[in-house]
Every structure is written in C-alpha cells, then in structure tokens.
Amino acid sequence: MSSKNEIEDKEIQDFLKFMKVADSEIKERGKIYKFKCPICGEEASGIKNTYNGHLWAQCEKCKMNVIQ
Ligand SMILES: [Zn+2]
C-alpha cells in the first residue's frame, strides 16, 4: 500500500541530502563550486546567486538538481 510513498520519501531524502551538501560546500556567492554528489558519488556543481544568494546545483550523473 505504501510503496509509492516510500519512493517519494526516498526522493525527498535524497533531495534534502543533496541540498544540504551543496549549501555547505558553496560558501562564496557568484562562484562555481564542484563537490561530491552525496547520492551517486560523482562530481556535482553549483553556484549561489551573487545578488540574492539563491542556490543552484546539479549533478550530471544522477540528474539531481536544486534550485532554491
Ligand atoms: Zn549524483
């Protein structure tokens, strides 16, 4: 019954994990950072907007992406 919810929970957990790592790795605004994707272990990249600090990050390998 709950298998669909479990998949969604996993996706949310992965997303939050990815966002947390991206947010802690990307310290300086307006600069592209490379970091290890917490989901697949491949290289991910991200940047924080110079103006408002919004976070953008993505992993090419597992297609995880965050736009905050
Ligand atoms: Zn990945």
40 C-alpha vs ligand 1 centroid, how far in Å?
Answer: 4
61 C-alpha vs ligand 1 centroid, how far in Å?
Answer: 5
The answer, as to whether pTM is greater than 0.85, is yes
Q: What is the pLDDT of residue 2?
A: 54
CA distances from 23 to 1, 27, 28, 46 (A): 35, 7, 10, 9
Per-residue pLDDT band at 5 (split at 50, 70, 90): confident
Q: What is the pLDDT of residue 3?
A: 66
Q: What is the pLDDT of residue 49?
A: 96
19 C-alpha vs ligand 1 centroid, how far in Å?
Answer: 12
Query: What does the pLDDT look like over 14-60, one tens digit per residue?
Result: 999 999 999 999 999 999 999 999 999 999 999 999 999 999 999 99
Please tell me the distance from the alpha carbon of residue 32 to that of residue 20, in angstroms, as a whole number: 16
Ligand 1 is an ion; residues with CB less than 5 A from it = 37, 39-40, 59, 61-62
